[in-house]
A and B are shown apart, each in its own frame.
Chain A
């Protein structure tokens, strides 16, 4: 629903909760909050999905996560995505195609299988696949690979469509092209609403789902939240008949001799889409908000993809796009109430997993907004966990 309400300062719009950000996270927060009975308004300075949501991919992965709070959130989110898919899966291109993580050396396979054991203990379905079976799953993989692990729970959506349809299903008031310029607070410091470039909106609760710009919103409420951009490029090929059936990426474990630890290195995810193009993504760099094209990065993506699927060497890349993942120093999102500002809730900083983790995030935020005990312990996601740097 697109509302065209003319707001004036004298008659501020009032609702139960204002969500800042019409990306995937904001859309999921709006949907779960509305279904919990709240009257929700979503504000975005651009269009729906105009931030990182429209500039990334839609992998919903459990395969790439080690046991811990992020995996727990991923498992909750995966279940919720499955439920939502029954309502409108076809509109958001939901596909439960599964992931295949390939080892490129016998040593790598051992390490990969060890991770799979731990993931299974945490509730992940992770099935070891030997060499022969691997080529049954993905016939066009490079020859001679020792084996893989199959993760049937990995799935995907088309992010911009998912955000648009979740927002529509939420029935929330959607105010696009409207920038939040301040957080309004009562004398005791709790949230009263937001000021936008086109009028005030009053609400006792504010959800910061501003993604990579979440730190700026927190700062408007004088709260410290160090969200930073991490650039990523994705390569898109010409449309093809289905040649790649799962989400496929290689996991190599590079033994660091000095520290005796095994650092995980992955190649880009290669996947065929229902629409035909193969997506290859994504790179990771910390270069601020620099949009400029980087040929070396795209070469690295292409090299990674063609090593896995040699046939791709003859397939053309039509375009590439760039986005900025919102990351926090410990690579976990900020989810839940901010103890420093009563009424302020954060739902941002999901880095390279914000599409997948959005449903769990929205669900937990709705529980927090309605004072229910959250399904997951929010302690690891506490927004005030980062010490303010000494000036």
Chain B
């Protein structure tokens, strides 16, 4: 008799938790792997247990959903059906003869190597924040919206005393409310889109009364905290010598340019800025999964085009936590049935599939509403650093385009080093393509995390007995 099949779920956010619980409930063993110290990821980020927050639910909504998932996870862990590996930073998933090895680095230092074997994997790696550059964006005191929220939810630290929340997207609302509720004076919520006008018109939004109510709830809470919303406005510069002291905001005209004469200065010591999210696709790309633009391509069962690899949540497209939950649930159900040799009947999850469709339409509608100003890059002065890791300025990028014939992200990177540093372009790529006037394309990053050469080399010596299909040797060039 063989062992029960094992599914590795990478990512313990809403998608990964839902997939884990669904798969474990249907008879497969699951290894849930996440880089964080606790389950929950960004959305359900728990106040560090040690802080014993009295009412963590005040910082979360959907606290009940989270509690149910958490209890189900704990029960499966106790029953031995789920192994939950925290502090595991996955740098690569390897597929060999139809089986998988998940390679991870352990602990906050990400030094020790661990390998987990599995018969199939669910990639639930979520997304990361997109931030576009503007003069002064590298000053201390300028943080990402998610960074500000993580500080609030995780460590209960109040990031500053006077904050401006700026950029575009629905995520700015909970961030502004969260900051205000924690006692920060939120001087303004600066949103480049004009969401209200659209919200009234869009059909997909009308079909989501719950979601609209959620938006209305935020609006009421913003009002209660006296946070003023400046729609169709943008931050054009952050000021300060050693750290942030003020920002200049301005109104936008119909073409997405700054309306002259509308600039005004708002003193603040924190600027939380975000322009939406981008999917984390590194692990999927290295496995050879097909992408649709910037997101992992999946079918109705959340399967990628690589056999044995499922994907769910923001890795397959940005759509919020509710969508991530339904996708994770479907992925877990499908993987469980297929791993035990069956063929799933989609009727079994018809309700989840319906809400996935609805939530997907809602996400698409939001995506159409929220957008950075069309001409944002005009505000970026030549001396603004766009790639922080390699300290590449906007002027250098513009020169590579105008003088050296670079017309795509890869060539700009080769000619300027923008995106070659520690973050591998995760932060600067959206800014660079805006300056270069080209498209954001998936940039192959073979390692999801930087990996010590000793870890790579060590595994080499362990695996030398294995026969490689293609003999290979090193060489000078």
| Residues in A lying within 8 Å of B, measured CB to CB | 2, 47-50, 54, 56-57, 59, 61, 63-64, 160-161, 164-165, 167-168, 174, 176-177, 235-239, 247, 249, 265-269, 275, 277, 280-287, 292-307, 312-321, 352-353, 356
Contact = CB atoms under 8 A, between A and B. Distances in A.
Interface stretch (B73-81, B199-207, B404-412): B404-412
B421 A164 contact: no
B454 interface: yes
Contact of B453 (A50, A235, A249): A235
Q: Which 5 A-B pairs have the closest CB atoms?
A: A313-B454, A299-B460, A302-B456, A316-B450, A268-B474
Nearest to A280: B453
Interface string B400-421: 0001111110110011010011
B66 interface: no
Interface string B455-473: 0110111010010101111
Nearest to B449: A316
Contacts of A294: 470, 472
Contacts of A319: 424, 445-447
B452 A275 contact: no
B59 interface: no
Given A48-B411, A164-B404, A313 B472 contact: no
Contacts, number: 173
Contact of A161 (B415, B454, B456): B415
Contacts of B300: none
B453 A296 contact: no
Interface in B272-294: 286, 288
Given A164-B415, A275-B417, A300 B476 contact: no
Contacts of B475: 266, 268, 282-284, 352
B404 A168 contact: yes
Given A59-B477, A239-B421, 12 more contacts: A2-B405, A47-B406, A48-B411, A165-B404, A249-B474, A269-B476, A300-B460, A300-B472, A300-B474, A301-B456, A302-B454, A319-B446
B445 A299 contact: no
Contacts of A297: 472
Contacts of B453: 235, 237, 280, 302, 305-306, 312-317
Given A160-B411, A296-B463, A299-B463, A317 B456 contact: yes
Contact of A285 (B410, B463, B472): B472
A157 B404 CA distance: 16
A196 B415 CA distance: 27
A312 B457 CA distance: 10
Q: Residue among A161, A269, A283, A298 with the most chain B CB within 10 A?
A: A298
Contacts of B404: 48, 164-165, 168
Given A48-B404, A164-B415, A318-B447, A275 B460 contact: no
A283 B472 contact: yes
B92 A295 contact: yes
Interface string B20-60: 00000000000000000000000000000000000000000
Nearest to A313: B454
Contacts of B444: 321
A318 B424 contact: yes
Interface string B307-349: 0000000000000000000000000000000000000000000
A296 B405 contact: no
Nearest to B461: A303
B422 interface: yes
13 contacts: A2-B405, A48-B405, A168-B403, A275-B417, A282-B475, A296-B460, A296-B466, A303-B460, A313-B454, A318-B424, A319-B424, A319-B445, A319-B446
Contacts of A167: 405
A234 to B, nearest CB: 10
Contacts of A280: 453
Contact of A64 (B403, B414, B422, B477): B477
A297 B468 CA distance: 9
B405 A47 contact: yes
B263 interface: no
Contacts of A268: 474-476
B177 to A, nearest CB: 37
B447 A296 contact: no
B447 A302 contact: no
A281 B414 CA distance: 17
Contacts of B459: 295, 299
A2 B410 CA distance: 18
Given A238-B422, A283-B475, A49 B456 contact: no
Given A176-B407, A352-B476, A293 B452 contact: no
B265 to A, nearest CB: 37
B460 A302 contact: yes
B272 to A, nearest CB: 28
Contacts of A300: 460, 472-474
B476 A59 contact: yes
B477 A306 contact: no
A313 B403 CA distance: 40
B454 A314 contact: yes
Nearest to B476: A64
Contacts of A64: 476-477
Contacts of B466: 296
B451 interface: yes
B87 interface: no
Contacts of A301: 456, 474
Contacts of B461: 303
Nearest to A306: B457
Contacts of A295: 92, 94, 459
B83 interface: no
B451 A316 contact: yes
A209 B407 CA distance: 21
B361 interface: no
A296 B461 CA distance: 10
B390 A275 contact: yes
B403 to A, nearest CB: 7
Contacts of B406: 47-48, 164
Contacts of B411: 47-50, 54, 160
Contacts of A306: 453-454, 457
Nearest to A302: B456
Contacts of B463: 296, 299
A317 B474 CA distance: 17
B452 to A, nearest CB: 5
A387 B359 CA distance: 63
B92 A303 contact: no
B457 A302 contact: yes
Interface string B373-410: 00000000000000000100000000000011111101
